[in-house]
Amino acid sequence: MNANPKILLVGTGSLLNYGCEAIVRGTNEMLREHWPEASLTVASDDLDYDRQLFEGCEGIEFVPYRKRFTVYRLLMGILRRFGIGNGSPVRMNTGIIKDYDIFLSAGGDNYAEAPDGTLYHILRDLMKIGDKAATQNRIFVLWGASVGPFSKDNIDIVKRNLSKADILFPREQISYDYLNNQKLQGPEIITVADPAFCMETRKEELLQSRENEIIIGLNISRLSVDHSFRDKDRGEIILFQALDSLLYEKPDVKYLCIPHVMTDKVITCGMHKYFTSGFSYNRLSSA
């Protein structure tokens, strides 16, 4: 390997998603501390925004990864104008790995099925980059990810890809156990902390709080709520029932609702409607 290895991180998408920004920041801080001779490049969905966000941040660069102009997309776009089909989504440039030594396939929840049981475009693209990294003798790493579960229609596709990785770093025990149960041939599996939790902590004065008052920050994505906190039979979000009851039991508690995804400074993750509908904030005003 090069004395100054070039690392490419792909899969964080738009850094208007605070979780993705946190993955990038945590990964960069870990590298600066433990492997300072390495350089980190992040595949960006918005070069101007991301570069401004990380202005002055040592050791990190951004490159575009969308493959907007292809013969296939041009053809599908023409057909759409004649009322045939819906065009073609902008996909990743899966050959992007050729200029780098190490491919970090970003975690979060990319390695999961869509609610309809299909594989997300981003996961299919990440798997293609991983396959090319393995073919070109680059190091292929699954980085800080949750994994699965996958249906029988998809698990073999994912297993073939992950078997080509050099090492798998799941971010929690349940993903570690799931990967071990798949009996993959080749990669070592080691649990790591989510890179988002490896950022340097800072103290911020966000709210004027009373003495002995407890403020709990809530940063919840719509996807995680749908997977983990929704009663499928009754269609209820059971997480908020538990949060609401806590306000009755602990009058010294307040919730600070932190958006998970922003776009042009407007909350778009869909979760804000639950926080502004009144059932929790009414309790706050009377606490």
Architecture of domain 6-198: 3-Layer(aba) Sandwich (3.40)
* Structure confidence at residue 241 (pLDDT): 67
Say how far apart CA 270 and CA 280 lie, in whole Å: 16
Higher per-residue confidence, 76 vs 119: 119
Say how far apart CA 264 and CA 136 lie, in whole Å: 39
94 pLDDT more than 80: no
The predicted model scores a pTM of: 0.72
Identify the band that residue 205 occupies on the pLDDT scale cut at 50, 70 and 90.
low
Domain spans, the chain: 6-198, 214-286
